[in-house]
Structures are given as structure tokens and as C-alpha cells.
Amino acid sequence: MSDAVRRAAEILRAGGLVAFPTETVYGLGADASSAAAVARLYAVKRRPADHPVIVHLAAAEGAFAWTREAGEAAQILAAKFWPGPLTLVLKRSALAHDFVTGGEDTIGVRVPAHPVAHALLEAFGGGVAAPSANRFGRVSPTTAAHVRADLGADVDLVLEGGPSEVGIESTIVDLSRGAPVLLRPGRITQEALEAALGKRVALRDEDAPKHPGGLERHYAPATPLRLVPVHALDREIASLGARAAVLAFSRPDERVDYWLRMPRDAEGYARKLYAALRELDGAGCDAILVEAPPEDPAWQAVRDRLRRAASGG
């Protein structure tokens, strides 16, 4: 175990905050059993107290200790996708207090695959509450530098782990109400979940439990962002010119000063998305124009994040 990981585990045990890499995005971690540590986590995030956080564990057995009624579907998904970018929402056990569940009778648990996250969770031993390591409502960090830019001195330690491989937050499946419901799409697609379970996975609906990520503007840069179909991009650029920053599949247009080209595969696109949004947000432009991605199922998670980034409040 590295010195940094050992120190990070000590900080967690003392009630401190440690930002750490995961394969999805960087998390801001606190001891999930400590009311004081989690309170500080919420204060630094500027997150409302009724928004639940995901609890991270080193292995499935530890994760299921935070839940009750983890049935066959939970066992199947855990066996297939953990460690990895999947969060399961299940009925909570007595380990999960109101201060991590936002008062819900459910708990979100995840076993991340990133070696540094895994080493930290092993060294700490318990559950680590960790939302993405950004201020509430902003773009999630995919590098340690993003975390430092967002949270600076408010974090006791930032563990380095390179750029996040997935680049967008974990897939969240709610298994607490019988039929599985996809609360947040991610690298593990709806199709992959359905194939593993051998049944339909519904999309979040009106009856789904409260899910703040779906309610307000999230993953949003400060500059207004618009999703533009490829055929309308030229017209938008003509009206904005150099004042636009563009994220597109196509080649740069000379009228635009700030243009980032994105990969044509959904996983590659997701990996780069948040760093690209941060870069374009810093370009000092009036608007960010994003060429709309394909309607294909493989792009579901990317479309979800872009729609939220564009929703403007």
C-alpha cells in the first residue's frame, strides 16, 4: 500500500475528507458511518441534506451489509459488474443512517474498480460516502487537477489516479421496489443490464423514488450550452461566429475560435466529455454549441448528460 493511501485512510478515520479517483469520476469521500464527517462532506459540496449519497465498499459482501433484501437481481448484477461503474439502490440495513440516505429507506452502494479507490477502501475497511468531487450541480471532475480547481483547500487530501477511464458517473439501478428501474444511465448500458437479468429494465418514471440527479440542472458548465442538430450547426455558427465554443464530430469551422473535436464512439466521447466541457467553459465564449450525438442506444448516457448540461435550470 502506498504512503498516500495509508494517510488517506487515516484522514477518513479521523473524520476528514479525501478526494480519490474512481473509474467513473473522482469522488469526495467521507466515513459513511460518521454523522460529523458526512455533514462536512455536504457542506463542502454545498449539497442539500435530503440528497442521498452513494456508499463505496471494497467488495460486494461489504456493500450488501449496508442493504437488506438484496435478492437475485442484485446478486446477478453484482457478480457481473462489480467491481465496476454500477450503483445498486436497495433497501437499507441498520448500518445506513438517515444522514447518508437523505432519509430514504434505501441506500445506493457501489464497488469501484479503480486500483487506487480499491486500495483506499481496503485500507479504510468501512463504507465511504462519496459524491462526485465537485460543487453541487457542476461538471464532475475526471482528473485530480479538476478536483483541486473546484474544491481547493476544502479537501484534506486529493489522491492522484490519472484521468478517469469511463468519464461519466456510474449507472444507477434501483432494485428496491421489485422491478428494476434505471435511475441514471452510464457506461453499463440498459441493454447490458437487461441481458444480464434476462428481463426488461424500465426507465425512471413518475413513481420512482426521489432522485435529485434527475430533478435539477446537473453536470452543467456556467456558459449556456445548446444541443444543435448537425444540419443546424452552420446556421448557429453564422449567427454567433467567434463568440461560440463548439464541441462537434466534424472538422473545425474557421469562423469559430474555440472548437473541440470529439470521438465518434460513445465510450471515447464519454471519457473526454467533462474535460471538454470544462475547457470550453473556460474559453470566455457567450455560448457552447454541441453537435447532437446519435440517437443510438449506445449513446443513451452521453445524451442524458448533455441534455442536463443544456437544461439551464
Cβ 212 to ligand TXA shortest distance, Å? 4
Return the exposure string of 281-305: e unless at least 16 CB atoms fall within 10 Å of the residue's CB, then b.
Answer: beeebebbbbbbbeeeeebbbbbbb
Q: What is the rounded distance in angstroms from the CA atom of residue 249 to the CA atom of residue 103?
A: 43
| Contact between 271 and ligand TXA per CB under 6 A | no
Q: Residue 196 corresponds to which cell in the numbers above?
A: 444480464
| Contact between 143 and ligand TXA per CB under 6 A | no
Footprint of Mg ion (CB under 5 A): 132
* Element of type H or E holding 157: strand 157-158
Candidate list 33, 34, 142, 170; residue touching ligand TXA; CB under 6 A: 170
How many residues bind ligand TXA (CB under 6 A)? The answer is: 27
Q: Residue 231 corresponds to which cell in the numbers above?
A: 444540419
| Contact between 304 and ligand TXA per CB under 6 A | no
117 contact choice in Mg ion, ligand TXA, none (CB below 5 to 8 Å, kind-dependent)? none
- Residue 208's Cβ-count burial label (10 Å; 0-12, 13-18, 19+) is middle
Q: Which is nearer to Mg ion, 132 or 143 (CB)?
A: 132
| Contact between 22 and ligand TXA per CB under 6 A | yes
Residues numbered 83-102 forming contacts with ligand TXA, rule: CB under 6 A: 87, 89, 101
Instruction: Say whether 129 sits in a helix, a strand or coil.
Output: strand
* String marking each residue 199-238 x if it binds ligand TXA according to CB under 6 A: ----------x-xxx-------------------------
Q: What is the rounded distance in angstroms from the CA atom of residue 62 to the CA atom of residue 127?
A: 8
| Contact between 24 and ligand TXA per CB under 6 A | yes
Q: What is the rounded distance in angstroms from the CA atom of residue 64 to the CA atom of residue 52?
A: 17
Binding footprint of ligand TXA on the chain (CB under 6 A): 22, 24-25, 27, 51-54, 87, 89, 101, 104, 106-108, 110, 130-132, 169-170, 172, 183, 209, 211-213
